[in-house]
Amino acid sequence: MPPFHPIDHLVLPVADLAVSRARYEQLGFQVQDDRQHPFGTANCCIMFANGTYLEPLAVGNREELEKAIVARNVFVSRQDAYRFRHDEGFAMLALKTEDAQADHRAFCEFGYAAGEPFAFERMATAPDGSETRIGVRLAYAEDHRAPDCTLFTCQHLSPDILWTRENSIHGNQSIGVTAVYMSEPNPADFQYYLETLSGQRDIRSSSSGIEAEMGEGSVSILTPYALNALFGVAAGRQGFQGRGLQLRGFSLAVPDIESLISGLSSRNVEYRQLGSRIIVDPAPGQGAFICFEEAQS
């Protein structure tokens, strides 16, 4: 089994980065500058103080993207296949690791490896103004029964450059991702996959689904009925019917729910309140539902 893997970031395909930026800024987030990847994708990330982040991802250069697909770049090919079927949404979940190569060996052993580990580096400006090299090493795992859901581990080479106090402050006071929610009619069918990726054997099971606790966060696979009961999210919209894992939404911790509500209202954001939860449904540029919850003291 690979070691314990907390949530790192969420890959959220969008049709247009400008639209996505406007949407997340309307929600009260600080959105980082657009970044172009040499393999044809582009992002505008949202960093959080708890060491997680969101990655709205668009096609930056279709020609370079096609070249990357031919070269069997798993990250590019999987997100492009997802985009073909759904346009926008939640395609991939990245979990933190200190050794992507070791994870890849474990994924091979358990039959989940998807291609070779991928490394990407670039130069970035450190908080002190100096230029430094940052990058990631990624190990992918896939279950062939879930073509719309890709999980992988992410090893950051210089995490102190990515996360700074300044880039993790948000108008809505979000602290970070605390939970990820998937749906599948029979969650237990994917329990071994979740155990392998999370590094956890102590998976909680109930009539609603299964859940892996990973430090300050959790990853759940819920039945469509449970997803609707907990979050008011319907399972019937096109592309989310039938079998196979679907990444549907995530929770963000905030220090004060009433302050969040006031901010969303002032920015004309539609939301639903279910008990202590505030739910913001998908919209153009935001393909997954967001559940805001008050941080546990």
Does residue 1 sit within a domain? no
Picking from 143, 168, 193, the residue at the C-terminal end of a domain is 168
- Is the pLDDT confidence value at 288 over 80? yes
Do 181 and 53 share a structural domain? Answer: no
Does residue 126 sit within a domain? yes
Does residue 147 sit within a domain? yes
Do 44 and 152 share a structural domain? Answer: yes
Domain carrying residue 125: 7-168
Residues 297, 294: Cα–Cα separation, whole Å:
9
Do 261 and 121 share a structural domain? Answer: no
Does residue 2 sit within a domain? no
Picking from 145, 168, 191, the residue at the C-terminal end of a domain is 168
Do 134 and 41 share a structural domain? Answer: yes
Number of domains in the chain: 2
What is the per-residue pLDDT across 106-130, written as a single tens digit (0 to 9) for each?
A: 999 999 998 888 888 776 666 666 6
Give the number of residues written for the chain: 297
Do 84 and 27 share a structural domain? Answer: yes
In angstroms, how far apart are the furthest CA atoms of the chain?
53
Does residue 213 sit within a domain? yes
Banded pLDDT at 99 (limits 50, 70, 90):
very high
Do 272 and 141 share a structural domain? Answer: no
Do 257 and 162 share a structural domain? Answer: no
Does residue 24 sit within a domain? yes
What is the per-residue pLDDT across 162-179, written as a single tens digit (0 to 9) for each?
A: 778 888 999 999 999 999
Q: Per-residue pLDDT averaged across 201-224, rounded?
A: 90
Q: What is the pLDDT of residue 198?
A: 84
Banded pLDDT at 238 (limits 50, 70, 90):
very low
Q: What is the pLDDT of residue 120?
A: 82
Do 200 and 270 share a structural domain? Answer: yes
- Is the pLDDT confidence value at 280 over 60? yes
Do 29 and 160 share a structural domain? Answer: yes
Which positions ≥6 away from 292 have C-beta within 8 Å?
172, 174, 251, 252, 254, 257, 260, 277, 278, 279, 280
Q: Per-residue pLDDT averaged across 121-149, rounded?
A: 79
| Number of other CB atoms surrounding residue 192 within 10 Å | 14
Does residue 161 sit within a domain? yes
Do 155 and 180 share a structural domain? Answer: no
- Is the pLDDT confidence value at 252 over 90? yes
- Is the pLDDT confidence value at 95 over 70? yes
Q: What is the mean pLDDT of the chain?
A: 90
- Is the pLDDT confidence value at 209 over 90? yes
Q: Per-residue pLDDT averaged across 35-47, rounded?
A: 94
Q: What is the pLDDT of residue 131?
A: 67
Picking from 168, 195, 220, the residue at the C-terminal end of a domain is 168
- Is the pLDDT confidence value at 239 over 50? no
pTM of the model: 0.93
Strand 41-43 vs strand 35-36: parallel, antiparallel, or unpaired?
A: antiparallel
Choice between 129 and 224, residue whose per-residue pLDDT is larger? 224
CATH value at residue 240: 3.10.180.10
Q: What is the pLDDT of residue 111?
A: 92
Residues 221, 211: Cα–Cα separation, whole Å:
6
Angle, CA of 97, 103 and 106, to the nearest 5°:
150
Do 118 and 39 share a structural domain? Answer: yes
Do 276 and 199 share a structural domain? Answer: yes
